[in-house]
A and B are shown apart, each in its own frame.
Chain A
Amino acid sequence: MIALRILGVLAVLCIAAVVGLFTLAWQSSIAPVSRPAANDFDPAKIKRGAALAALGDCNTCHTTTGGGAFAGGVPVPTPFGTIYSTNITPDEDTGIGRWSEAAFRRALRQGVDRAGHQLYPAFPYDHFTLLSDDDISALYAFFMTRRPVRAMAPASGLPFPLNIRMIIAGWKLLFFHQGPFKPNPNQSDELNRGAYLVDGIGHCGACHTPRNALGAEDMGNAFGGGEVDGWTAYALNKDSPAPVPWDGKALHDYLRRGWSSEHGMAHGPMVQVIENLKSISDSDIAAMTSYLSNVFGEPSAERRRAAEALLVREYGSHGAAQAGSTPTGAQNVGAMIYQSTCAICHEGGQPLPFGGIDLALSTGPSGPNARNVINVVLWGFPAASGERAPIMPGFADALTDSQLEELLTYIRSRFSDKPAWIDLAHDIRVARGNRPDVSSAPGTDPAGRAVSEHEARR
């Protein structure tokens, strides 16, 4: 009898919990509208939306190589399973053609689609929630005036119970803070603008902030460095591994053109980010630069001294480029491979971006792991089509695993004062399994053109 009563209480509690979660998760559908005509939108607003969409790298996740611009279907690998991006062209049946601006706003700000389904946080609404109504409206104008593409995204392959979208409501309760952005009255307008762009539409933290076991950004360690597609997104805060601390000029150079003489080139997924930033105004780049300078913070006196010594060694006290630093003379296998294979370009004395960077300045050899260096050595930089761009041949098939390991060990010991990397053999094996798609090299991506100014003006 007592057991029965306990069971009854438990049942009631369970029902209450389910009802509670359901209430929390339940969102009403927003009535479909007929697709607004393209000339309903102000061209200036569409243009502003195009720049925001570029800054938000919408194409990176929503356009497949060779696929229709923003038609979705890009697999987004997560530690929990693969999610496929949705079609955000204004196609009525498979895209967002029947979404009102209110529905669009709710998706960005609350992570709920028009029909009321919870959206997985692979869609970075934890950042987009900061967007102003005005900017959301401009993005809406931009997307509703794209060419509609009929394409149904594959269903996401998440295992039970993650395939039940209701549980995302629980995730949000724990980790999601709804916007919009509140400027800090004690900071300059430029800094506030930078914070709004970097933390909002730019969602830089999505890659550069580490994530916890449930896939949420660890806000206690904002910009502490993360992972994306087999690449390490380096820390942008005091833990930055860059041998020369980032300053405003270096950041501006890097964001504007994809390289900085004292740090090196953008690699991996960052190449597409830089490509997209080309359509951003100088003043917005400057605002992001000021905010990011603050995130990096003032380097310690010790770090600054080490960097100055490095730069004097590099350029001489008069700023004239030196022909490479003197090798240590250690003639192990790694040193010999470096001297015969890498030094030709990396100590050639030709400045960036067409010469190779002195690896003592590059962040890679001082990084927390060897993954980025491995990726670059294996796959190089494919030549970009239609523009001048840095090049490097890949050495995947020229180097055996053990030769590559020797080379990496030498690079780490010669160009960084940090302890030797561990797990090199494992990282090499994983990287070899991730041969990049050369057809998506910068300049050949149809998505890049999809957000060009030319199209925005149309």
Chain B
Amino acid sequence: MKLTVNSREYDVDAEPDTPLLYILRDNLELNGAKFGCGLGQCGACTVLVDGEAVFSCVTPLLLLEGRKVTTVEGLGTVENPGPLQRAFIDEQAAQCGYCIPGMMMRAQALLQKNAHASDAEIRAALQPNLCRCGTHMRILRAVHRAAELLKSARAETSTGSVR
């Protein structure tokens, strides 16, 4: 089956009932998404499917034909981190870091739709994702910062096009 991840098309040789998370980690070696509970309850495996946050551990491959998957690797690179990644680094939002890719992906899904999300909206959106270290306040600050970065990035592109 063909699977589109981070704008790249892969030929995947796997059973159609294989969870997306296993495909990402075992077949494609994209290890950003993490296995936490395997029950869709902790959010460590969160990735985007067509721009919406889903638990990749309970999403079988067969649901993904013709759809676009984005993982944390698709948000930027080590040399050139994307706004979400930049903000999480700047706020030092990771302690152990296990939940962070999931947090970033769920925040990305929110900010893509609503760059002006309020603190309450961010808290509500991140509710499905758990962090056991307790860096919640830093994560919240990072998401606010990411929203600012996204807004200024958009403003730059729009003034750029005017010039």
Residues of A with Cβ closer than 8 Å to B? 336-337, 339-341, 344, 380, 382-383, 391-393, 395-400, 403, 437-439
Asked if B95 is at the interface (CB within 8 A of a chain A CB), the reply is no
13 more A-B residue pairs beyond the given contacts A341-B60, A382-B127, A400-B63, with a C-beta to C-beta distance below 8 A: A336-B16, A339-B17, A393-B39, A393-B41, A397-B49, A397-B50, A397-B53, A398-B49, A398-B63, A399-B63, A400-B67, A403-B63, A438-B124
Q: Which residues of A have CB within 8 Å of B135? A: none
Whether the Cβ atoms of B63 and A341 lie closer than 8 Å is yes
Within 8 A of A (CB), among B24-42: 39-41
Whether the Cβ atoms of A341 and B49 lie closer than 8 Å is no
Name the residue on B nearest A441 (C-beta). Answer: B127
- 25 examples of A-B residue contacts, CB within 8 angstroms: A336-B16, A336-B62, A337-B62, A337-B63, A340-B16, A340-B60, A341-B58, A341-B59, A341-B63, A380-B40, A391-B41, A393-B39, A393-B40, A393-B41, A393-B55, A395-B59, A396-B52, A397-B53, A398-B55, A398-B58, A398-B63, A399-B63, A403-B63, A438-B124, A439-B124
CB distance from B45 to the nearest CB of A (A): 11
The SS class assigned to the A binding surface is: loop
Within 8 A of A (CB), among B118-157: 124, 127-128
Q: Which residues of B have CB within 8 Å of A340? A: 16-17, 60, 62
Q: Which residues of B have CB within 8 Å of A383? A: 41
CB distance from B2 to the nearest CB of A (A): 17
CB distance from B44 to the nearest CB of A (A): 13
Q: Which residues of A have CB within 8 Å of B60? A: 337, 340-341
Q: Interface readout for B54-97 with A: 1 if CB under 8 Å, 0 if not? A: 11001110110001000000000000000000000000000000
Q: How far is the CA of A344 from the CA of B63 in the complex (A)?
A: 16
Q: Which residues of A have CB within 8 Å of B16? A: 336, 340
Q: Which residues of B have CB within 8 Å of A395? A: 58-59
CB distance from A385 to the nearest CB of B (A): 11
CB distance from A33 to the nearest CB of B (A): 40
Q: How far is the CA of A392 from the CA of B54 in the complex (A)?
A: 14
A337, A393, A398 — most chain B CB neighbours (10 Å)? A398
Name the residue on B nearest A344 (C-beta). Answer: B58
CB distance from A350 to the nearest CB of B (A): 12
Whether the Cβ atoms of B54 and A391 lie closer than 8 Å is no
B16, B41, B58 — most chain A CB neighbours (10 Å)? B58
Name the residue on B nearest A439 (C-beta). Answer: B124
Q: Which residues of B have CB within 8 Å of A439? A: 124, 127
Name the residue on A nearest B20 (C-beta). Answer: A398
Q: Which residues of A have CB within 8 Å of B52? A: 396-397
Q: How far is the CA of A383 from the CA of B130 in the complex (A)?
A: 11
Q: How far is the CA of A437 from the CA of B120 in the complex (A)?
A: 12
Whether the Cβ atoms of B39 and A391 lie closer than 8 Å is yes
| Contacts across chains A and B counted by CB atoms under 8 Å | 51
Q: Which residues of A have CB within 8 Å of B50? A: 397
Q: Which residues of A have CB within 8 Å of B58? A: 341, 344, 393, 395, 398
CB distance from B138 to the nearest CB of A (A): 22
Q: How far is the CA of A392 from the CA of B63 in the complex (A)?
A: 18
CB distance from A446 to the nearest CB of B (A): 16
Q: How far is the CA of A383 from the CA of B37 in the complex (A)?
A: 13
B60, B63, B128 — most chain A CB neighbours (10 Å)? B63
Q: Looking at the complex, which one of A336, A380, A396 makes contact with B17 (CB distance below 8 Å)? A: A336
Q: How far is the CA of A348 from the CA of B40 in the complex (A)?
A: 16
Q: How far is the CA of A391 from the CA of B42 in the complex (A)?
A: 11
Whether the Cβ atoms of A397 and B54 lie closer than 8 Å is yes
Q: How far is the CA of A380 from the CA of B55 in the complex (A)?
A: 12
Whether the Cβ atoms of A398 and B127 lie closer than 8 Å is no
Q: Which residues of B have CB within 8 Å of A337? A: 60, 62-63
CB distance from A355 to the nearest CB of B (A): 12
Q: How far is the CA of A142 from the CA of B42 in the complex (A)?
A: 40
CB distance from B57 to the nearest CB of A (A): 9
Q: How far is the CA of A340 from the CA of B128 in the complex (A)?
A: 22
Q: How far is the CA of A339 from the CA of B59 in the complex (A)?
A: 12
Q: Looking at the complex, which one of B41, B59, B127 makes contact with A438 (CB distance below 8 Å)? A: B127
Q: Looking at the complex, which one of B39, B59, B124 makes contact with A398 (CB distance below 8 Å)? A: B59
CB distance from B63 to the nearest CB of A (A): 6
Q: How far is the CA of A340 from the CA of B20 in the complex (A)?
A: 11
Q: How far is the CA of A339 from the CA of B55 in the complex (A)?
A: 17
Q: How far is the CA of A442 from the CA of B70 in the complex (A)?
A: 33
Q: How far is the CA of A169 from the CA of B7 in the complex (A)?
A: 65
CB distance from A336 to the nearest CB of B (A): 6
Whether the Cβ atoms of A398 and B54 lie closer than 8 Å is yes
Q: Which residues of A have CB within 8 Å of B55? A: 393, 398
Q: How far is the CA of A396 from the CA of B40 in the complex (A)?
A: 12
Name the residue on B nearest A438 (C-beta). Answer: B127
Q: Which residues of A have CB within 8 Å of B54? A: 397-398
CB distance from A137 to the nearest CB of B (A): 41
B39, B40, B49, B53 — most chain A CB neighbours (10 Å)? B40
Q: How far is the CA of A437 from the CA of B123 in the complex (A)?
A: 12
Name the residue on B nearest A345 (C-beta). Answer: B39
Name the residue on B nearest A343 (C-beta). Answer: B17
Q: Which residues of A have CB within 8 Å of B49? A: 397-398
Q: How far is the CA of A382 from the CA of B55 in the complex (A)?
A: 14
Q: How far is the CA of A336 from the CA of B49 in the complex (A)?
A: 19
Q: How far is the CA of A336 from the CA of B62 in the complex (A)?
A: 8
